[in-house]
Amino acid sequence: MADRDIAIIGYAETKIELRSGRSVYDLAGEAFATALEHAGIDKSEIDGMAVNASFSDAGNPFYSPVLSAYLGLELDWCQTTDLGGGSVTGNIARAAAAIRSGLCETVIAIAADAQSTENRGNIGAFRSEFQYPVGVMGPPGYFGLLSRRYDAQYGLDPLALAKLAVTQRNHALLNDKACEKLRRPLTVEEYLKSPMIADPIRMLDCVMVCDGASAVVVTSTRHARELGAKRLVHPLGYGERVNYNETDPTPDITAVGHTAAGRKALRQAGMSIRDVQMFHPYDDFLIAIVLQLEQLGFCEIGKGCGFVMEHDLSFTGDLPLNTGGGQISAGQAGLAGGGHNLVEAVRQLFGEGGPRQVSGKSNAMVTGIGWIPYGRNWGSSTVMVLEAN
């Protein structure tokens, strides 16, 4: 990818809302139309589409072609990706592969879900067989167990988690797309006093499930020039790892697939982790940020909390982190939640961050996390490195 032959030329994001009452198709339509407008192209240019799976229309075996019909699109290529929070970055890579192989020329990558309004999801397999019967009823329970293990191995500093919560909340206050319920000032003391959900997971460690959508327009750099695009963001490197350490019967549950995915993404980009100027990690829980900082090599394993305390992660700091508030403070749009992190990185690289615009930064790393298997860490890990033209 480091040859910069693929470009993102437009993006859009809806308001993230709690129980919006809107359908996933309505949200997707808004993001689609706004992304085309932002890119300055007509929808007739779109001949490919990649979408994430949706809780709101779970069980529909024809989700991507049905969505394309709602959008009035006749396509040469379309697909649904089911990597959970890794689907959004995964779809940029899949769009790039489709364009390079000649399957299509210009792709709209859409992430939409209205999980807080309508949730038709029914996740079986490990959950119904091993987890639900013993009372682990959802992600806070899983991450509670993971956090407890991390604390036993390395020590988990609640002040570091509090700093992450406050930093991201401060960013959300500057983001008019963030969920209004979350756009309230937060202090370290308030974080520490928030209710314990699954010890040591507090309420403010967790995302709030919402509704929302985002869209990104991807094409070849050559065609972007033909279309007259003036601002481009190039995906330089991408790594994906599904079922990390799957063959190990007793894996370290604090080890995650971003170790492998990050190494691949940086190698493709021709960069080291020290070259990364902005970080937009998938943040369904604050502990996930700490783990990713370690596994990607920003710091040593077990030193993530220390890294957080030693660095300025605000949009004016040395490593701006989730400058739109992340999902923790902007809201998680169901399975489309990772789109917030990706679009915020693209927005910043386009220089359109408004009051939270970073300065002097020309690249960003975006990550994704997807699904939680039994007896190990999350099952899908994605890493993408982006660079402004």
Q: Is residue 150 part of a domain?
A: no
pTM of the model: 0.96
Domain limits for position 17: 6-119+208-388
Query: What is the spatial distance between Cα 302 and Cα 319, in angstroms, rounded to a whole number?
Result: 19
Q: Is 359 left (phi over 0), alpha (psi -120 to 50) or beta?
A: beta
Cβ density class 256-281: b for 16+ within 10 Å, e for less: bbbbbbbbebbebbebeeeebbbbbb
Between 221 and 1, where is the model more confident? Answer: 221
Neighbours of 11 (CB within 10 A): 27
Asked if 107 and 217 count as a contact pair (C-beta separation under 8 A), the reply is: yes
Q: Considering the domain boundaries, does residue 139 fall inside one?
A: no
The amino acid at 383: V
pLDDT in tens, 35-79: 999 999 999 999 999 999 999 998 889 999 999 999 999 999 999
123 confidence band (pLDDT: 50, 70, 90): confident
Q: What is the pLDDT of residues 159-185, one digit of tens each?
A: 999 999 999 999 999 999 999 999 999
Sign (positive or negative) of CA dihedral 185, 299, 353, 315? positive
The answer to the question of residue 384 being in a domain is: yes
What's the whole-number average pLDDT of the chain? 95
pLDDT in tens, 112-122: 999 999 988 77
Residue 375: pLDDT band with limits 50, 70, 90: confident
Q: Which of 19-23, 25-29, 56-60, 290-294 shows the lowest per-residue confidence on average (mean pLDDT)?
A: 56-60
Q: Closest Cα partner for 200 from 146, 159, 254, 241?
A: 146
Whether residue 158 lies inside any domain: the answer is no
- Cα separation, 294 vs 98, in Å, equals 33
Flag whether pLDDT at 373 surpasses 90: no
Q: Are 51 and 67 in contact (CB under 8 A)?
A: yes
User: What is the token pair recorded at 177?
Assistant: 């797309």
Number of domains in the chain: 1
Which of 136-140, 235-239, 337-341, 348-352 shows the lowest mean pLDDT across its residues? 136-140
CA–CA distance, 209 with 200 (Å, rounded to integer): 20
Instruction: Name the residue among 139, 254, 257 with its Cα closest to residue 198.
Output: 139
* Mean pLDDT across 250-273: 96
pLDDT of residue 129: 73
In a domain, 141, yes or no: no
Supply the CATH number for residue 114's domain. Answer: 3.40.47.10
Number of CB atoms found within 10 A of residue 331's CB: 30
Give the 3-state secondary structure of residue 93: helix
Closest CA relative to residue 194, chosen from 158, 230, 155: 158
Closest CA to 299 of 287, 284, 288, 311: 311
Residue 296 token pair: 């990607």
Q: What is the DSSP string of 205-255?
A: GB--B-EEEEEEEEEEHHHHHHTT----EEEEEEEEEESTTTT-SS--TT-
Reported confidence tier of residue 2, pLDDT bands at 50, 70, 90: low
Calculate the CA 177 to chain-centre distance: 15
* DSSP reduced 3-state for 92: helix
Q: What's the pLDDT score for residue 38? A: 98
Check: CB of residue 42 under 8 Å from CB of residue 36. Answer: yes
The reported pLDDT for the residue numbered 374 is 72
Residue 193 lies in a domain: no
Q: What is the pLDDT of residue 19?
A: 97
DSSP code string of 154-196: T---HHHHHHHHHHHHHHHTT-TTS-GGG-S---HHHHHHSPE
14, 248 Cβ separation under 8 angstroms? no
Q: What is the DSSP letter of 347?
A: H
Cα-based distances in Å from 73 to 32, 54, 67, 113, 275:
11, 19, 9, 20, 40
- 29 pLDDT exceeds 70? yes
CB atoms < 10 A from the CB of 230, how many?
Answer: 10
d(CA 349, CA 342): 11
Per-residue confidence band for 1, with pLDDT thresholds at 50, 70 and 90: low
DSSP structure string for 296-331: TTSS-TT-HHHHHHHS--STTSSS-B-TT-HHHHH-
**Integer Cα distance of 111 and 64 in angstroms:** 11
End-to-end CA distance of the chain: 14
Give the count of beta carbons closer than 10 Å to the beta carbon of residue 66.
13
Q: Tell me whether residue 265 is in a domain.
A: yes
Residue 126 is predicted with a pLDDT of 74
Contacting residues for 21 by C-beta, under 8 A, at least 6 apart: 117
Element (H, E) at 152: helix 139-153
